Amino acid sequence: MSLLLGRNTFGDISNKGNLLSKEEAFQLFHEWVLNPKLQLHMKQVAHLMKCWASEKENLSSDDEWKWEMTGLLHDADWDQWPDLHCKKIIEELEIRNIDPEVMHAIASHGPVHFGVEPETKMDQMLYAFDELSGLIHAYSLMRPEGYTGMELKGVKKRLKEKSFAANVSREDIQDACNRAQIGLDELIEFIIAKQPSVS
């Protein structure tokens, strides 16, 4: 089964700046995503996107929400419609006349799977946070103290252990860092600092 989207452009440029309200986004999130583990993953990625937008990119509060909303909804169709992963949420956001940049970022969160390249910084950061935050969360679950006292070197050790969180693609993580031109260490430190506050 292929998840390739077969296209590179999404939505309508005249919808630039159109976003869901927080209420609408969370309503969609709760209607579509029933699995609590997946919900947590999506909330973690949303929070990382928001923090990165405000602290590293100095974006406006509107753009901050754009990044957060993109993170929050990137896997919205994965729970109930895995065969339509990416396709269904993109079509839904197109119907709702959402900013094309949101759909493009969602479409490029797995270039190998969906066939869309992460081009903008928002695309690249979503791609970068997606896999790495999952690995770091898995690491927190095996530590008695969870995230408390977690260090960069511990995460790097887990990354080298191929059997640990084996479904997390190390290649994608490195590829994402290269594309975003961010060092792996910086990204890990950022996630360790921001992720624990999400529940």
Kindly list the residues in this chain that would bind Fe ion in the complex (CB under 5 A).
75, 130
Q: Measured from the CB of residue 75, what is the shortest distance to Fe ion in angstroms?
A: 4
| CA dihedral sign, ordered 40, 45, 50, 51 | positive
DSSP state of 146: T
Are 18 and 11 in contact by the 8 Å Cβ rule? The answer is no
Compare residues 99 and 130 and give the one whose CB is closer to Fe ion. Answer: 130
Q: Kindly report the length of the chain.
A: 199
Q: For the CB of residue 143, give the shortest distance to Fe ion in the complex, in Å.
A: 22
CB of 124 to Fe ion, least distance (A): 15
Closer CB to Fe ion, 34 or 153, in the complex? 34
Smaller CB distance to Fe ion: residue 130 or 175?
130
Q: Distance between CA atoms of 30 and 25, rounded to whole angstroms? A: 9
Instruction: Indicate the DSSP class of residue 1.
Output: -
In this structure, the number of other CB atoms found within 10 A of the CB of residue 50 comes to 22
Cβ-based nearer residue to Fe ion, 88 or 96: 88
Distance CA 187, CA 131 (A): 12
